[in-house]
A and B are shown apart, each in its own frame.
Chain A
Amino acid sequence: MSDQVILETRNLCKVFRAGKSEVRAVDDLSVSIAAGSFTALTGPSGCGKTTLLSLLGALDRPSSGQVFFLGRELSRYSDVELARLRRRMGFVFQNFSLIAGLPVWDNITYPLIPRGVGRRERRDIAAQMLARFGLDDKADRSPSELSGGEQQRVALARALAGQPDIILADEPISNLDPVNSAAVMSCLQQIHAEGKTVVLSVHEPAIAPPGSRVISMAGGRIQREEIR
C-alpha cells in the first residue's frame, strides 16, 4: 500500500436546510484516504455516510471545508475537469440510480458513450461485467424487471465498467442475500487487490475484510477508527 493520499477532506461540512430546521449531515469532518486502501464507513442510519461519499465523489458541493483529490481542491476544478475526475471514480448509489427504460447492458455502459466507446464494444464490456456478477441472461432486461439485489449488482457493474481508480460504493450489499453479498465483497476485494482504492459504506462492519480501515460515524462526525 502506497502512502500517497488520493482523497482528503478538511473541516468538511454539509448543511441541509429544511424550512427552519438545519441538519448538519457532515460536520467538520477531516479524513484522508490513502491510494490503494480499503475503507469502510459505518454508523447508524442518518449519520451522514451517503452525504460524505457524494462529497468525496465530487457529486455534491460542500457547505464549507474542502475536498482534495491528489492534493488539488475540488472547487478549483472546471466543469470539464470534474467530469474527467468522475470518470476516474466509480460510484455505486444506495438507491442504484439506474436509468429506467434503458436495457441493463446500456445502463452499465452509458458512462462510456462520451468516452468514445462504440456500441459493439460497449456490448462486449457489458457482457463481461454481467458474467462477473452472474447476470449473463439479463443483458436486455429493463432495470424495473430486476430484483433489488440484481439492480444492486448492475449498479456495481456500471461503476466498474469504466475501470475507475477509486470505487465509492454506498451500501453495496444491503439488498443482497448472504451468497450474493459474499460475491460482491469478494469482487470489491479483488478490485482492491488490483491496486484500486475502495471506499464503501456498510451497516455491518463485521463484513469488512481483514486489514481494512473501519470508520464509525455519528452525527456527521468521525466517532471511532480502527484497522480490522
Chain B
Amino acid sequence: MTKFIEIAGTGVTAILLHPWRSAVTAGAVTVVLLPYLVCLGLSHGLRLEAESSIQLGADLYVSGIQFGHKVPIPLVAKSQIERIDGVTEVVPRIVGAIAIGRNRESAVVVGMPVDRFATGASFLEGRLPGQNSVNELVLGSELAHRLNLKLDSRIPPFYQNAQGEKVSSVVGIFRPDAPVWQANLILTTLTTAAAIFNQEGLVNDFLVYCRPGYEDHVRAKVLETVSYRAQGSSGGPRPMVIQRTDLTAVLPTGLLGQQGVFELHFVLVFAVGILVVLVTSGLGLSERRREIGILKATGWQTDEILFRSLVEGCLLSLAAAALAIVLGLVWLRVFNGFWIAGVFLYGAGVSPAFRVPFVLAPAPALLTVLIALVVVMTGSIYSTWRAATASPAEAMR
C-alpha cells in the first residue's frame, strides 16, 4: 500500500520535474479542448432552449404538402380545423424569408395575431405591433443591430405589392434574452406579413392547440377531413401535421449551423491532442526516455513505471480539462461566445447582439474531462510503455 502511495507521489512530482513539458501538454490539450467544449455548451444550450420553447408552443402544426414539398395553405381552412372535437384554438402563421437593407441581410418575417406572440413583454424594448396596425414591425436585436435600426426608425419601402410601396416603422426590438433563432426575426401582424409577401389569403401553417389527450385524435381528423381544395377542383395541397414531439427530434440539428465543422473538430481534438501528448510524454523527448531507462535500470517494474505515468497523466488531464472549462465559461459568459457563436449558430454575427444560450454542466464538462483523460492517457501511456519495454541501456542512450 505504501508502495502505491509512494509511486503515486512520484507521479505528482514528475509534473514539477519537467514544468515546461507539463505546461505544454496541459496547454495543448486545453487549446484543442476549448473550442470543442464551447461548441458543445452552445449546442446544449440551444437544444435546451429549443425544447423549452417547443414545450410552450402549439400541440400540432398543420400545413400543406404538394408534390412532396411543404406549401402555403388558404387561411379559410382555419374554420375547418376549429370545428374538430378537442381543438381549443387555431392560430394562423406566416413564416417567410426576405432580404433587407443595402447588404441584403437575410431575415425571417413571422406574421401572426399579435396576442399570440411567444415572446414575453420583458424581452421587448418598445411595444408589440397594434392589433390592426399596418407596417409596424418588431425586430430581433441581432437584425436591428446589423441594419442599424433603433426604436421608431423608419424603414423605406422594402417590398412591393399590389398596393404599391409603403414605409414601415420599427415599434419594438427583442432584447438579448430572446432565443437565438428569434434574433433575426421580423415579427408583425398577419396582415402586414401577407402584404410583405403579397400573398393575401394564404398562411404557412396553423398552430393548433388541443385539450390534453386529444392530439392523436385531432391529427387523424385533420388528415381525414380538412381540404384546401377550391370547390370543384381536384388539385391543390393536402394536409400535413407535425406533432410537437416530431419537432423536438428535428430542431436541434436544424438549428446548429456548420454541423460538419463541429464534427471535424471533434476528430481533430483526438488526433492533434494524442499527437501532442505522444511527443511531450516521451516518444520525441530523449530526456524523458532516459529517465524511464534509469528507473528501469534501478529495478522499477514496467507496471510501476506505467502507474507513475498514469497518475501524472491523470493530473495533467484534469488540469487541462479544468482550465478548458474555466476558459469556456469566460468565453461564453463574459465574451458572449465572441466569434465562435457566429461560426456555429445561424444568424449570430462575430459579436452576437443577443445573449448566447449555453449549458456547460454537467454533460459538456464531464465529456471534456473524459476526452482529456482519453487523449492524455492514450498519448502518455503509449510512449511510456514504449520506453519502459525497451532495454534500459537503449532507453538511456
Seen from chain A, the residues whose Cβ lies within 8 Å of a Cβ on chain B are: 54, 57, 59-61, 79-80, 83-84, 86-87, 91, 93, 97-102, 110-111, 113-119, 158, 162
Contact = CB atoms under 8 A, between A and B. Distances in A.
Given A59-B391, A118-B6, A110 B295 contact: yes
A146 B318 CA distance: 36
Contacts of B163: none
Contacts of A110: 10, 295, 298
> 7 closest A-B pairs (Cβ-Cβ)?
A111-B298, A87-B299, A60-B393, A116-B3, A83-B301, A86-B299, A59-B393
Interface residues of B, number: 30
A83 B300 contact: yes
A83 to B, nearest CB: 4
Interface in B1-42: 2-3, 6-7, 9-10, 13, 16-18
B394 interface: yes
A114 B295 CA distance: 10
B177 interface: no
Contacts of A91: 297-298
B2 A118 contact: yes
B304 interface: yes
Contacts of A162: 298-299
Contacts of B198: none
Contact of B6 (A57, A61, A97, A116): A116
Q: Which of A60, A93, A98 is the most central at the interface, judged by chain B CB atoms within 10 Å of its CB? A: A60
Contact of B3 (A86, A93, A113): A113
Contacts of B7: 113-114
Interface of B: 2-3, 6-7, 9-10, 13, 16-18, 287, 290-291, 293-302, 304, 389, 391-394, 396
A87 B297 CA distance: 9
Contacts of A119: 6, 9
A97 B299 contact: no
A59 B7 CA distance: 22
A200 B392 CA distance: 19
A110 B299 CA distance: 10
Contacts of B17: 99, 101-102
B290 A97 contact: yes
A162 B297 CA distance: 13
25 contacts: A54-B393, A60-B392, A60-B394, A61-B391, A79-B302, A80-B301, A83-B301, A91-B297, A97-B396, A99-B17, A99-B291, A99-B294, A110-B10, A111-B298, A111-B299, A113-B3, A113-B6, A114-B3, A114-B300, A115-B3, A115-B299, A118-B2, A118-B6, A158-B298, A162-B298
Contacts of B300: 83, 111, 113-114
Nearest to A101: B17
Nearest to A90: B298
Contact of A114 (B18, B304, B389, B391): B304
Q: Which of A79, A84, A113 is the most central at the interface, judged by chain B CB atoms within 10 Å of its CB? A: A113
Contacts of A61: 391
Contacts of B393: 54, 59-60
Contacts of B391: 59-61
Contacts of A111: 298-300
A225 B336 CA distance: 81
A145 to B, nearest CB: 16
Q: Which of A54, A83, A111, A116 is the most central at the interface, judged by chain B CB atoms within 10 Å of its CB? A: A83
A75 B110 CA distance: 80
Contacts of B9: 119
A68 B392 CA distance: 18
Given A61-B391, A99-B17, A114-B304, A86 B298 contact: yes
Contacts of A54: 392-393
A162 B304 CA distance: 17
Given A86-B299, A115-B3, 17 more contacts: A59-B393, A79-B301, A83-B301, A86-B296, A87-B299, A91-B297, A91-B298, A97-B290, A97-B396, A100-B287, A110-B295, A111-B300, A113-B3, A113-B6, A116-B2, A118-B2, A119-B9
B10 A113 contact: yes
A114 B299 contact: yes
Contacts of A97: 290, 293-294, 297, 396
A100 B287 CA distance: 9
B98 to A, nearest CB: 66
Nearest to A79: B302
A114 B290 contact: no
Contacts of A100: 287
Contacts of B16: 101
A59 B392 contact: yes
Nearest to A111: B298
Contacts of A87: 299
Contacts of A83: 296, 299-302, 304
B301 A114 contact: yes
A84 B299 contact: yes
Nearest to B394: A60
A121 to B, nearest CB: 10
A74 B185 CA distance: 78
Contacts of B291: 99
Contacts of A84: 299
A226 B301 CA distance: 38
A102 B299 CA distance: 18
B18 A101 contact: yes
B387 to A, nearest CB: 14
Nearest to B389: A79
Q: Which of B296, B301, B304 is the most central at the interface, judged by chain A CB atoms within 10 Å of its CB? A: B301
Q: Which of A57, A87, A101, A119 is the most central at the interface, judged by chain B CB atoms within 10 Å of its CB? A: A101
Contacts of A80: 301
